[in-house]
C-alpha cells in the first residue's frame, strides 16, 4: 500500500498554526479497506473539542482521518507494531494518565497508569510513550523529585517500574531496539540540553552511553530519537542555529557519522521534528514549513523538504 501523495500546500490552505477545525474533525474514514488500520500515522489535532488523537492508514484518505478520542487533553500518541493500539498521554488539570485506545475508532480509552498511583509517589508530567515490539510494554518519560526519568509499565497496567533511578542523566523520549530488551533515549544533565544518546535496559535500567554528542551541526534532541526497524540506524530531530532538522546516523556500540536529511532552502527557522521510520530507508516527520504543521516523508538517501503526506497534524508517529 502507498501513501496518497498530496502535491503542494494548496491542500492545506486555511490550516495555519494549530487550529484544524476546517478538516473533518468529527470522525472520518482514515482507515484502509473497510476502515481497518494496519499501518500508518497517528497524531493529534487541536479542534473545538480540544486536543484529540486521530489515525490514518497508508491506504486511507489523509484529508479524512479517523478520530480515536473525543475528550480532548491528548498528547504524544504512538501506535503498536501490530497497528491495533495507540498509547497516548491524557492531561486534564492535575490529572495525568497514560492511556490506550484501539485504532478501530470504536473503543473507549483505557487508563494504563495515573499520576495518582501509590506506586510512583510525586510522579507527573507524563510524556513520550513508546511500545515494545510485541506491544506488551510501554516505556515513557515522567518527572519525579525534579528529575525526568524513564519508566515502564505493561500495556494492561501491571508491573510499573522506574528505570533510571540513580542515573546521572535526565531523560527525554525513548525508542525501542528491535529485540525489545533496551531503549535508546535522549539524555543530558538538564531537560533543555538533551545532547547524549543513552541505551537503557528495560529490565534492569542499566544505562550505557552511545554518544556524548550529536555530530557537528545538531546541538540537542528536540523531541525524540527513533531506532530503525532493523536496529542499524537512528534518526533524531536536532536543534541547530537555524531551526531544527532531521538527522540520521549508523547505530552500533557508538554513534556513526551523522548526516542531515532535511533542509529548507530560502526558508529560515523551520522546525522539523517528531521523526519516525517508515521501513529502514524512509523517514516521516513533522514540519512547520510554510507556516503550517504537516507530516512529510523523505528518503534517507536524499536531502530536502520531503513530500507532504498528512496535512494538519501535531506530534505524529508512524507504525503498525
Low-confidence ranges of the chain (pLDDT < 70): 1-35
- Domain membership of residue 2 (yes or no) is no
User: Is residue 5 a part of any domain in this protein?
Assistant: no
In a domain, 167, yes or no: yes
Is residue 59 included in any domain, yes or no?
yes
Residue 95 backbone dihedrals phi, psi, to 5 degrees: -80, 130
Report pLDDT digits (tens) over 42-83. Answer: 999 999 999 999 999 999 999 999 999 999 999 999 999 999
Q: Supply the Cα-derived Rg of the chain in whole angstroms.
A: 18
Residue 3 lies in a domain: no
Ranges of beta strands (E only) in 124-243 are 124-131, 137-144, 147-154, 161-162, 170-176, 182-188, 196-201, 207-211, 221-227, 233-239
Q: How many domains does the chain have?
A: 1
Which pLDDT score is estimated for 173? 98
Instruction: Give the residue numbers spanning the domain of 26.
Output: 10-319
**Does some domain include residue 18?**
yes
Position 74 in a domain: yes
**Angle CA 247–152–169, to nearest 5:** 55
Specify the CATH number for the domain of residue 275.
2.120.10.30
CA distances from 283 to 194, 203, 300, 306 (A): 21, 29, 7, 9
d(CA 268, CA 257): 25
- Considering the entire predicted model, what is its pTM? 0.90
State how far Cα 220 lies from the chain centre: 16
Does some domain include residue 148? Answer: yes
What's the pLDDT score for residue 71?
95
Longest dimension (CA), the chain: 52
Distance CA 206, CA 149 (A): 13
Tens digits of residue pLDDT in 123-152 = 999 999 999 999 999 999 999 999 999 999
Amino acid at each position: 500500500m502507498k501513501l496518497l501523495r498530496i502535491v503542494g500546500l494548496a491542500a492545506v490552505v486555511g490550516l495555519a498554526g494549530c487550529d484544524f477545525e476546517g478538516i473533518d474533525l468529527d470522525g472520518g474514514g482514515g482507515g484502509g479497506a473497510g476502515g481497518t488500520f494496519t499501518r500508518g500515522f497517528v497524531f493529534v489535532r487541536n479542534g473545538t473539542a480540544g486536543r484529540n488523537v486521530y489515525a490514518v492508514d497508508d491506504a486511507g484518505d489523509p484529508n479524512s482521518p479517523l478520530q480515536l478520542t473525543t475528550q480532548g487533553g491528548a498528547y504524544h500518541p504512538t501506535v503498536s507494531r501490530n497497528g491495533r493500539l495507540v498509547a497516548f498521554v491524557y492531561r486534564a488539570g492535575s490529572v495525568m494518565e497514560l492511556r490506550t485506545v484501539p485504532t478501530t475508532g470504536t473503543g473507549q480509552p483505557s487508563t494504563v497508569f495515573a499520576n495518582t498511583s501509590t506506586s510512583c509517589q510525586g510522579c507527573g508530567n507524563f510524556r513520550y510513550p513508546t511500545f515494545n515490539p510485541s506491544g506488551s510494554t510501554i516505556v515513557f518519560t515522567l518527572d519525579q523529585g525534579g528529575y525526568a526519568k524513564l519508566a515502564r509499565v505493561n500495556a494492561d497496567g501491571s508491573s510499573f517500574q522506574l528505570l533510571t533511578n540513580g542515573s546521572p542523566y535526565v531523560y527525554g523520549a525513548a525508542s525501542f531496539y528491535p529485540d525489545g530488551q533496551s531503549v535508546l533515549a535522549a539524555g543530558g544533565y538538564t531537560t533543555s540540553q538533551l545532547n547524549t544518546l543513552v541505551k537503557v535496559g528495560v529490565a534492569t535500567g542499566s544505562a550505557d552511553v552511545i554518544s556524548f554528542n550529536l555530530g557537528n551541526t545538531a546541538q540537542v534532541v528536540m523531541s525524540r530519537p527513533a531506532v530503525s526497524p532493523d536496529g542499524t540506524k537512528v534518526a533524531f530531530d536536532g536543534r541547530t542555529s537555524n531551526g531544527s532538522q532531521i538527522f540520521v546516523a549508523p547505530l552500533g556500540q557508538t554513534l556513526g557519522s551523522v548526516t542531515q536529511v532535511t533542509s529548507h532552502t530560502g526558508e529560515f527557522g523551520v522546525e522539523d521534528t517528531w521523526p519516525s521510520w517508515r521501513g529502514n530507508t524512509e523517514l516521516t516527520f513533522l514540519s512547520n514549513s510554510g507556516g503550517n504543521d504537516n507530516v512529510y516523508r523523505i528518503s534517507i538517501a536524499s536531502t530536502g523538504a520531503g513530500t507532504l503526506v498528512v496535512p494538519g497534524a501535531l506530534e505524529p508517529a508512524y507504525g503498525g
